[in-house]
Amino acid sequence: MKQKSPAPGATAPQTHAVPFLTCTDTGQNLFAVQPGIPYEDACKKLSLFMTIAHELLEDANGSLNVEAGHIAAYYILGTAKAIVESLPEDFGVYQEGGAA
């Protein structure tokens, strides 16, 4: 997907803080996506996390340790979800055709 540059004077979209992985005892979040990360970098990590989760689930289905694969994929997908939620709602405007 080819990306367009922001209009002159505009800044490229960046992530905003999104906490995730709530600890049940305290109700606090253990991790958070950090604000100010360029969305191109965040999307690269998102793609990596999604690929790893997909591979874990495929591997888990053929192994003896299905539960471990599913638990790992659960946490990786939680991280990927937080990355998606950290992106600006209009980040697709900077991509050709305006589609995210």
Report domain extents, the chain: 37-87
3-state helix, strand, coil in the chain (%, to 5): 50, 15, 35
Write down the pTM of the prediction.
0.64
pLDDT 10s digits, 32-73: 999 999 989 999 999 998 888 888 777 766 665 677 778 888
The residues, ordered by sequence, that sit 6+ positions from 91 with a Cβ below 8 Å of its Cβ are 13, 39, 100
Q: Are 16 and 86 in contact (CB under 8 A)?
A: yes
pLDDT 10s digits, 16-42: 999 988 888 888 988 999 999 998 999
Q: How far is C-alpha 6 from the geometric centre of its chain's CA atoms?
A: 22
CB atoms within 10 A of CB 13: 19
